[in-house]
Amino acid sequence: GQSLEQPSEVTAVEGAIVQINCTYQTSGFYGLSWYQQHDGGAPTFLSYNALDGLEETGRFSSFLSRSDSYGYLLLQELQMKDSASYFCAVLSGAGSYQLTFGKGTKLSVIP
């Protein structure tokens, strides 16, 4: 089966940097995605890593190490609006192209 581990909660100060780690176990791995969800609304796509390394998109960066089955989401210059739940998700081809989510990390940004 597939499993993902990420911290349940993180608190950080406005303007700071925060890193949310994700480790996974899966077969047929294609890539690791990150999604943001505000107040139970529609999860929105942040990033996708299929290859090792760091992908940067504005204030957000995502890293993947396939050999370590590990990735992280890095949020810089935190803003209050970044308070949300962040989910790592593995795209795998075991059976079908399925996206399996972690349990989510609730990020609270404080002044």
Partner 1 sequence: EAGVTQFPSHSVIEKGQTVTLRCDPISGHDNLYWYRRVMGKEIKFLLHFVKESKQDESGMPNNRFLAERTGGTYSTLKVQPAELEDSGVYFCASSLPPGQGTGELFFGEGSRLTVL
- Residue spans of beta strands (DSSP E) within 9-111: 9-13, 18-25, 29-37, 44-49, 53-57, 60-65, 70-75, 84-92, 98-101, 105-110
| Smallest distance, partner 1 to C-beta of residue 30, A | 6
Site string for partner 1, 82-111 (x = CB under 8 A): -----x---x-x-xxxxxxxxxx-------
Cβ 7 to partner 1 shortest distance, Å: 13
Which residues in 39-58 contact partner 1 (CB under 8 A)? 40-45, 48, 50
Nearest approach, Cβ of 1 to partner 1 (angstroms)? Answer: 10
Q: Within positions 16 to 35, which residues make up the interface with partner 1, using CB under 8 A?
A: 30-31, 33, 35
Q: Which is nearer to partner 1, 15 or 93 (CB)?
A: 93
> Is residue 99 helix, strand or coil?
strand
User: Is the CB of 30 or the CB of 60 nearer to partner 1?
Assistant: 30
